[in-house]
Structure 1
Amino acid sequence: MPPRRRCAVCGSKQWRKEPSSGLVTCGEGHVLQSYRNETSEVAELGPHTMKKRALKSGRKKREWQSKADPKLYHGERGRYHYYQCLQLLLRRQVAALIGAWALPAQFEAVCRDVWALHLSLLPSPPTAEPYFHATSQYGGRPPEAPGTPPSDGDPAEERGTGAERDVDDAESSAPSSSDEEDEEDPELEKLLRENSAPPSSSSSEDEEDGVQPRPPLHDKQRNPKTTFRPYDSPAGNIAVLMLACWTLRLPVMYMDFKRVIERHDLPYLDPIRFLPENMTLHLTKQTIKALSPQFPPTALHIHGLTSRLAKLIYRTYGILTPEHNAAPLLWRATRALQGTPTLYVLSKKLGRVLSLTLTLHYSLSPVLKRMKMRDPEHHKYDNAPPEVALITTVLVVLKLVYGLDGERRTPQSAEDPACALPNFTEYLAAVEAAGLGERNIEASLYDTAPEALDSVLELDGAAMDRYIDFCQKALLPLKDRRGNSDAPLGTRSQQQPMDAVPSETMKATPVREGSSDLRPGQAFRIYNSQDILGGLPTDYEKLVQRAARWAGVEEGYVLGAMERYEHRLVRWWRDERKAKESDD
């Protein structure tokens, strides 16, 4: 632009350049003389022209590196490792039960088969982790199968650099690549793909059969708070053991497992010390927490897992779990309430009248005979644990004989079965003494020292040995106990039966002919289990507490089952009376 000078014509200092002509004019339009605007456009620069170049630094861009510990397993690989830990823990549990309960050798084989069925019936079964991990290590290609013959190429070419191999692959023809594919074993690759199918892919055979596999949840879709479901917990191992006992018809109950867990005879609490170091090295804190339950599972929780597993096995594979061996378990329930053989026989007859379900799930038993359209196929509490059903049946018999409502029942005939049962006063005292004796035995096992002692040093030799043995089982790992043995250390407490409580001989109930007292079975009262404001008679409540403690359930659950059984008994009695009246 020209300097700020005045126009020679009008004296204006306002100048502007016209874009069309390139002339410089003042504010009045006078053209500035002796001004020239030149524009030079060059298409190509000669070799003598200097070019300015920007030099780039040779520094490479830093890639993002994860700060996670590579030794810890996450995702599907960590889940697969979690089930490996559960499987090893199951092997130790099987060895412990075989030694503690003197089980047959077939128990281990049955547990192995049930464990395989349990894994296949999970909502999201574990994937074939080794195959996918090897696939990721080989750059998305399946690993070379063992036994595959090497290629016929020159070994010197195979030892070339990666750039040379890329150039060779680009210059190679299609027939050479097909020859390499023909050298691999196609049948083995097919088997590997079938056994380790990716979660998102479905095989062609399943599509032809019309069976669509369940797509498992990926890591992003699965909620981290619900990654480990109840079926994946260590309680699932107890369900597998319980189902194996049912298969062999062993008369065990859920409280038996809880007792051996509390005595640390069965590896369940703090199981990380039972695993080898090369397995615990890859566990995250979430996996360790999932593997380490703080308390033994309850009876109803184990029963829910076991009944679900038995139902799925029957629906999926058609394998029917046999009924429970009820005769020995009924005798255990009778002895838990200090009963006699007469009480056992009466309870057995009443159980037949009540049509007790002795299967793990009510769907595994035959349906009830429907006389009318409104008749149900199953009863409520049909899915109750067998020990609860049996001891509730014993309670119903005791209630029929003694009343348990504060009023006295007296048999008036020698043919009454109540004459063979003990006197109620002595019987109730024996039940209380049995409950107190069991609590003292359990306290002697788990307490560090009795209350009367000021120090552990005041214990005698037997108590000190029992205390040291218990601490050894509860605190030390296997390698510090007995070397590298897989079987847990046997202790003296294993030979102490928990149910063997001494009892005294009781007198029989006397017969009083012509007595004004109520007879057994007369004025039978049914209490509503939903009545939270009402109270129970003292004698009745003591027996219910004893039964609930023995079965490992709450008192309300026993009362609910007892109410249903009593209504069922009343309906049967009315039907029998109607049938007799119609015959007459």
Structure 2
Amino acid sequence: MAPRRKCPVCGSKQWHKDVSSGLVACSEGHVLQNYRTESGEAEDLGNHTMKKRTLKSGRKKKEKASKADPTLYHGERARFHYYQCLQLLLRKQVATLIALWSLPPEFETVCRDIWTLHLNLLPNPPPAEPYHHLQEQKGTKTDPAARTSTRRADSASGSSKSRERTDKSGDSGSDSSSSSEDESGEEDDPELVELLRENSEISSSSDDESSKHHQPNATSRGQRGLVGKYDRPASNIAVLVVACWTMRVPIIYMDFIRVIESYKMPYLDPVRLLPNNLTRHLTKHAIQALSPHHAPSTLLLHRLSSRIAKRIYASYGVFTPELNAAPVLWRVTRQCLGGTPTLYGLTKRLGCVLSLPLTLHHSLAPTLRRVKRDDPHSHKFDNVPPELALVATAIVVLKLVYGLDGKTRLPTHPDDPACTLPRLDEYLSLLRHLNEADLQDNEVQFGSRVTVPICDLDDATIDRYLDFCERVLVGPQNDDSEHRILDNYFSLSNRNAEISPQAITSKLGARALPSTRLNGDDQGVLRPGESYTIYNSRDVLGKLPEDYELVVERSAKWTGVSNDYLCGIVELYERRFARWWSGQRTGEEETGDDNSGRRD
């Protein structure tokens, strides 16, 4: 570029270069003299032209020493070790449930089979890492692509040799001898074997790319982390649930949650219960994955359990039996709602009308009876926990009998089943006593869902809390004096016996409650089922009546769900029952039957 100097004619400092002529002129057009443009590009170089080249040092750089702990496992080996810890944890959980619930020893066999099916149905199953690691220690290649390419190269070379033998079998002896020499040369030529291996690696890489193109989720699933959402410790509890359903054990999800929160079954902080030869290889991410902070919720356990039941039936044809509904319904009637056999029978009858699916997944239930062409094969949103469906059905029965809206309802006929149910005020008083009895249980009082104000506790409750902490933090005490830590250093002489909530519940429910009286001549009193109110569960500004709210809170706490979720299930069943009732009335009007005086 021209120097930034003044033009000798006009004194301008603004210069520009003409592209076509290459002349430099000022802003006024005066051409700069004694200026030439040179090009540094040479087309023809002579023999004596000197070239520069870069010399690279052949010295290898010194590798930095790794500061990683060699005892910790990473990658696929860490995943396999993680599943080993889960399997050992499952065995401890199975042994605990067999001792707590007096289950038969066949329960362990069922859990083992379901665990195997569960691992096979994972999106990313556990790898066979110990075999690959052993091959690495011996010095062989363990890359899956390399192993596949080697096998393909061997098969390709073997097939080419067999074809050569077949083609040359009918030739003369000299041809056969030359072919055998060629074959021996092929076997001994390392360059040809290397070319065949590289060719097979290229083909295998192209095949892998095409498979990845057809399965885009495979790589992304493997890069998410150590574990996925279906292979966490909560899946162990789901395996136990499916095993209990398979053996027709009448359990609910809150049974597992209670033994987890009371630290009777290993789930919270289970790494301390594993042997040292397993925990020494765990990284901090693996320890975090094995140590959940809270017990799983009811809805999470149902989602995982229903997935396992659905997948093992679709893949292997293993059908999970239906819920053992009779004992579970009696637990709902007696333990949850404090009801009588009359409430049990009414709930069972209404559940038959609502066609409740008593399976882990709604797809495993039989299809509905279709009367019309437009009738559905199954009800929508039926994939709810079965005990929650039974509780919601019982609440609908209570609303039909009592209303639970502040208005008095009395039966007018002695054959009405509402006559055998207790009076509303006595029944609500029983529910309040049941809530107080549950709070005296150590498993509920010291659980993670309840805030314990230490300053307001009495001496007996503090002693029970210390016993609970001893069992949770120290574990079971052996007879050996060396392992009795608290007794040696912090001995407590006064130990109160734990209060059994089942005894309190049976004592409260054993007393006879007065039955509902018949309606006399009072015309302003409603009958059971009259003026039925359906509350919208999405009305965030609305408020439930006091009686209905007491029943909902008691049921939601017993099943382990929120009040809003339970109200949504109750509303769903109420609207389904209203549709069934309107269809029944329409059918009676079409047939001309007058059944207005009959009450079901």
| Post-superposition CA distance 1:197-253 (Å, at most 9, x none) | xx99999xxxxxx9x9979856x97445x5422211100000000000000011100
Does structure 2 conserve the Cα–Cα contact (< 8 Å) formed by 1:273 and 1:478?
Answer: no
Letter in 1 for 2:361: H
Distance in 2, Cα, partners of 1:213 & 1:116: 28
Deviation at 1:269, TM superposition (A): 0.4
CA distance in 2, matches of 1:79, 1:538: 52
**Structure 1 residue 441 displacement after superposition:** 1.8
Which whole-Å deviations, capped at 9, do the CAs of 1:397-439 have from their partners, x for residues lacking one? Answer: 0000001111110111101100000000110111111112102
Describe the SS at the equivalent of 2:285. Answer: helix
User: For residues 82-111 of structure 1, what are the alpha-carbon distances to aligned partners after superposition, in whole Å with 9 as ceiling and x for unaligned?
Assistant: 000000000000000000111111100000
Aligned residue number for residue 20 of structure 2: none
Within the candidate set 502, 505, 508, 2:507 is matched to 502
Is 1:575 paired with 2:583? yes
With a CA cutoff of 8 Å and minimum separation of 6, indicate the structure with the bigger relative contact order.
Answer: 1
Q: Equivalent residue for 1:51?
A: none
**Contiguous gaps of at least 5 residues in structure 2:** 1-47, 49-54, 144-181, 189-203, 482-495, 593-600
| 2:301 paired with 1:294 | no
Shift of residue 551, structure 1, vs aligned partner: 0.6
| Residue equivalent to 2:537 | 529
Q: How does 1:157-172 map to 2 (within 5 A)?
A: none
3-state secondary structure, aligned to 1:435: helix
Q: How does 1:35-46 map to 2 (within 5 A)?
A: none
Greater Rg by CA: 1
Change (3 A) 1:410 1:538: same
After TM superposition, give the deviation of residue 481 of structure 1 in Å. 8.7
**Alpha-carbon distance change, 253 to 383 in structure 1, aligned in 2, over 3 angstroms:** same
Q: Determine the C-alpha separation between the residues in 2 that align with 1:175 and 1:497.
A: 84
Cα 1:221–1:401 shift into 2, 3 Å: closer
Q: What is the identity, as a one-letter code, of the residue corresponding to 2:565?
A: Y
Q: CA deviation at 1:262?
A: 0.9
The equivalent residue for 1:546 is 554
Q: Paired residue for 1:187?
A: none
Match of 1:124 in 2: 124
Alpha-carbon deviation of 1:476? Answer: 2.5
Q: What is the match of residue 573 of structure 2?
A: 565
Percent identical among aligned pairs is: 50
| 1:346–1:397 contact (8 Å) kept in structure 2 | yes
2:269–2:292 Cα contact (<8 Å) kept? yes
Q: How has the CA–CA distance of structure 1 residues 388 and 439 changed in structure 2, closer, same or farther, with 3 Å as cutoff?
A: same
Contact 1:412–1:515 at 8 Å: present in 2 too? Answer: no
Change (3 A) 1:566 1:216: closer
Alignment of 1:42-441 (within 5 A): 61-141=61-141, 217=218, 222-224=222-224, 226-335=225-334, 336-441=336-441
Q: Match of 2:522?
A: 515
TM-score, L = length of structure 1: 0.72
The change in CA–CA distance for 1:221 and 1:509 in structure 2 (over 3 A counts) is: closer
Matched-pair contact (CA < 8 Å) for 1:274–1:478: no
Q: What amino acid is the match of 2:584?
A: E
Matched residue count: 461
Q: Which amino acid aligns with 1:571?
A: R
**Residues 19-30 of structure 1 mapped to structure 2, 5 A cutoff:** none
Question: What residue in structure 1 maps to residue 469 of structure 2?
Answer: 471
Q: 1:492/1:175 Cα in 2 relative to 1: closer, same or farther (>3 Å)?
A: farther
Post-superposition Cα deviations, 1:299-352, rounded to whole Å, max 9, x if no partner, equal 000100000111111111111100000111111111111100100001000000
Q: Residue 312 of structure 1 aligns to a residue in which SS?
A: helix
Partner of 2:23: none
SS of equivalent to 2:441? helix
Contact map agreement 2:79 2:227 (CA 8 A) in 1? no
Q: TM-score, normalised by structure 2?
A: 0.70
- Kindly tell me: are residues 481 and 316 of structure 1, through their superposed partners in 2, closer, same or farther at Cα, counting changes over 3 Å? farther
* Post-superposition CA distance 1:240-292 (Å, at most 9, x none): 00000000011100100010011110000000111000000000000000100
- 2:440 partner SS: helix
Which whole-Å CA distance do the structure 2 matches of 1:242 and 1:214 have between them? 32
DSSP 3-state at the match of 2:343: helix
Distance 1:374 1:327 in 2: 33
Evaluate the alpha carbon distance shift between residue 277 and residue 497 of structure 1 in structure 2; reply closer, same or farther with a 3 A threshold: farther
Provide, for residues 143-184 of structure 1, a one-character-per-residue CA deviation record: whole Å limited to 9, x for no partner: 9xxxxxxxxxxxxxxxxxxxxxxxxxxxxx9979999xxxxx
- The letter for the 2-side match of 1:396 is V
Distance 1:505 1:141, change over 3 A: same
Deviation at 1:378, TM superposition (A): 2.1
Q: SS in structure 2 opposite 1:502? A: helix
Residue type of the alignment partner of 2:81: H
Q: How many Å separate the matches in 2 of 1:177 and 1:421?
A: 94
Amino acid at match of 1:302: L
Go from structure 1 to structure 2 and tell me whether the alpha carbon gap of 1:497 and 1:200 turns closer, same or farther (over 3 Å shift).
farther
Deviation at 1:496, TM superposition (A): 6.4
Aligned equivalents of 1:232, 1:213: Cα separation in 2:
25
User: Within 1, Cα distance between the matches of 2:136 and 2:123?
Assistant: 25
Aligned counterparts of 1:574 and 1:286: Cα–Cα separation in 2:
57
Q: Aligned-pair distance for 1:63?
A: 2.8
The answer for unaligned runs of 5 or more in structure 1 is: 1-40, 42-53, 144-172, 180-198, 204-209, 484-490
Contact 2:254 2:298 in 1 (8 A): yes
Distance 2:455 2:439 in 1: 15
* Cα distance in structure 2, aligned partners of 1:84 and 1:200: 32
The alpha-carbon deviation at position 571 of structure 1 amounts to: 1.4
Letter matched to residue 234 of structure 1: P
Q: How far apart are residue 377 of structure 1 and its match? A: 2.1
Q: Is the 8 A contact 1:370 1:376 kept in 2?
A: yes
**Shift in CA distance, 127/474, structure 1 to aligned 2, threshold 3 Å:** same
Q: How far, CA to CA, are the matches of 1:200 and 1:359 in structure 2?
A: 46
Deviations 1:15-74 (A, max 9, x none): xxxxxxxxxxxxxxxxxxxxxxxxxx9xxxxxxxxxxxx9x99x8642344321110001
Change (3 A) 1:444 1:569: closer
Residue 374 to residue 499, structure 1, CA distance change in 2 (3 Å): farther
Q: Residues of 1 paired with 2:214 and 2:95: CA distance?
A: 35
Distance 1:263 1:501, change over 3 A: farther
Match of 2:312, as an amino acid? I
C-alpha deviation, 1:482, in angstroms:
8.2
Measured in 2, the distance between the counterparts of 1:472 and 1:116 equals: 36
1:122 and 1:400 mapped to 2: Cα distance?
A: 45
Post-superposition CA distance 1:481-537 (Å, at most 9, x none)? 989xxxxxxx98697649945313210001123332110011111111111122211
* CA 85–214 in structure 1, closer or farther in 2 if over 3 Å, else same: farther
Separation in 1, partners of 2:260, 2:456: 28
State whether residues 274 and 477 of structure 1, in contact with CA within 8 Å, keep that contact through their aligned partners in structure 2. no
Distance 1:438-1:71 versus aligned 2 partners, 3 A rule? same
The Cα RMSD (Å) is 3.5
Task: Name the structure with the higher helix share.
Answer: 2
Q: Distance in 2 between matches of 1:280 and 1:332?
A: 41
Q: Contact 2:437–2:504 at 8 Å: present in 1 too?
A: no
> Taking structure 1 as reference, are residues 481 and 472 closer, same or farther at Cα in structure 2, changes over 3 Å only?
farther
Q: Partner of 1:414: helix, strand, or coil?
A: coil
- State the alpha-carbon separation in 2 of the partners of residues 124 and 530 from structure 1: 39
